[in-house]
Amino acid sequence: MDGDRELNVICHNCYYNSHKITERKLFFLIRKDLFFAPWFCYGLRHGRKKIIFITGTDTGVGKTLLSALLLAHLRSSGCRALAMKPFCSGGREDVRMLQAGQRGELSDAEVNPFYFSAPVAPLVELEKTRRNISLKQVITKIRRIGKKCDRLLIEGSGGLMVPLGKGWLVEDLIAKLDCRVIVVARNQLGTINHTLLTVARLRDKGIKRRNIMVALMGGRKADASSASNEKILAQLLRPVSVVNVPDLERYGVKKSVGKLALGAAKRVLGQLVLGDVRRGGKYS
């Protein structure tokens, strides 16, 4: 073992900060602290994806709220994180929510380079004006922002099959990015079908299961299925992790996203950022 070789590892006291540490000191920590070992082994084996893509089973499922919470959580940990929503239709409330968490480090045009005033799929507006946006153009915009940070959160538009340009969909953008994917879903009746379809489609696009997580968003419209959806989805999707995000509306989250990220939602956000590795089954 070369004791002078440096590795970037994840410290269990703060999952997201990279610390340079010699290999000799690293293995001393592993022997001393068994809790540290599994997190280190996961990071060494799989690495951490710089980009986290937040998609959903539908529109209005809570992607923007979760993205803002993840951004606040990462930045409060000392991580240089930024967030963007490349496509936005109908209004820029989502952009303002993300901007509130990154202190004006990016302009609105950088956070949301492709804006459409009508609340319809981007391709619909593009065809009306006989324009097109290529997948390459979007990748270029994302890469440019990625150079300014250590972790980049990308909020998608609607679900995987939303057409963003001629001949390509949200899922094609995800497939081109070296990223982890968080699927945001409502914890209500119907979510099992929608979530299974979404994850299956990601798998068809070549996204490995170890790079997929599901965030079940609780809400005030809970129904009889809300108590069992997490368990059933975890069984059917294993080893993909399913994380239950509690009802956040009662905290007035739009006014205190930062406080919530450090409080009631902190543990759940930690699982989503790093990935829950304490699960059974094999990855592929």
**Structural contact between residues 79 and 204, judged by C-beta atoms closer than 8 angstroms:** no
* Residues in contact with 153: Cβ distance below 8 Å, sequence separation at least 6, in sequence order: 51, 52, 54, 67, 70, 71, 74, 81, 82, 83, 84
Q: Which of 20, 25, 63, 85 is catalytic?
A: 85
Q: How far apart are the first and last CA of the chain?
A: 30
Which residue carries 């996204």 as its tokens? Answer: 207
Q: What letter does residue 199 receive in the DSSP assignment? A: H
Strand partners of residue 8? 20
**Structural contact between residues 258 and 266, judged by C-beta atoms closer than 8 angstroms:** no
Quick check: is 141 catalytic? Answer: no
Catalytically active residues are 85
